[in-house]
A and B are shown apart, each in its own frame.
Chain A
Amino acid sequence: EDKVVQSPLSLVVHEGDTVTLNCSYEVTNFRSLLWYKQEKKAPTFLFMLTSSGIEKKSGRLSSILDKKELFSILNITATQTGDSAIYLCAVSPGGTSYGKLTFGQGTILTVHP
């Protein structure tokens, strides 16, 4: 059974801090890893990673995948109160199960002014 474990489960920081969120996974026939941000409603897509060692970047957020060690990290620099959210990591298997995302339990990030 596919499995995704995120750490820490919660994190409280002050504006301006840099945070690193972790995601480790076990999946049959790995295809991709995705990061989502969930505020009050819908999870919104951040990154999709398929290759090891290639950093994806969007503003203050960046993410990288290590397919050998089976983990990914999401970095947020110069955090702002608007970064407060649940960050979800998910993996997609290949083969006939392609599209069946398995999500981790999420990391709750709280950024204080």
Chain B
Amino acid sequence: DAGVIQSPRHEVTEMGQEVTLRCKPISGHDYLFWYRQTMMRGLELLIYFNNNVPIDDSGMPEDRFSAKMPNASFSTLKIQPSEPRDSAVYFCASSLTVNQPQHFGDGTRLSIL
């Protein structure tokens, strides 16, 4: 079975540009999570969805960040405008139910110059 698929794998862009990260969860999983990982702060939950509906976005750092899940097989995390401090690895994860372990994608390494 295919795991969680994220794209792009790497993104380098200049500050002020819009960045869109994409995620395809494991088929049949009802929960989707977006995380950010940095050396300073470790792995932090940004937002999660249940059946395409955002449940908790309290980890989203500020209004420049937004996430959508238009259907069960696709989600985006958008940063507009991007800043150098947004540089990090962004992971998407999904789980069958909220009781089950989360399975992570390979991440998008984002560098904002």
- Interface size class of chain B, counting residues whose CB lies under 8 Å from the partner chain: 20 to 34
Query: Which of B15-23, B65-73, B75-83, B104-112 interfaces with chain A?
Result: B104-112
Q: Which of chain B's residues has its CB closest to A42's CB?
A: B104
Check if A100 is an interface residue, CB within 8 A of chain B.
yes
Contact in complex: B43, A103 (CB < 8 Å): yes
Q: A34-B101, A45-B101 are in contact. Are A97 and B43 (CB under 8 A)?
A: no
Residues on A with beta carbons closer than 8 Å to the beta carbon of B88: none
- How many A residues have CB within 8 A of the partner chain? 21
Contact in complex: B31, A48 (CB < 8 Å): no
Bound-state CA distance A32–B101 (Å) is: 10
Contact in complex: B106, A100 (CB < 8 Å): no
Contact in complex: A99, B48 (CB < 8 Å): yes
Check if B56 is an interface residue, CB within 8 A of chain A.
yes
- Chain A 73-113, CB-CB to B under 8 Å as 1, else 0, gives 00000000000000010100000011111111110000000
Q: Which of chain A's residues has its CB closest to B89's CB?
A: A41
Check if B12 is an interface residue, CB within 8 A of chain A.
no
Which residues B30-78 have CB closer than 8 A to chain A?
31, 33, 42-45, 48, 50, 55-56
Q: Which of A34, A42, A105 contacts B42 (CB 8 A)?
A: A105
Contact in complex: B48, A100 (CB < 8 Å): yes
Check if A20 is an interface residue, CB within 8 A of chain B.
no
Check if A8 is an interface residue, CB within 8 A of chain B.
no
Q: Which of chain B's residues has its CB closest to A102's CB?
A: B45
Which residues A18-49 have CB closer than 8 A to chain B?
32, 34, 36, 41-45, 48
Residues of A within 8 A of B (CB): 32, 34, 36, 41-45, 48, 88, 90, 97-106
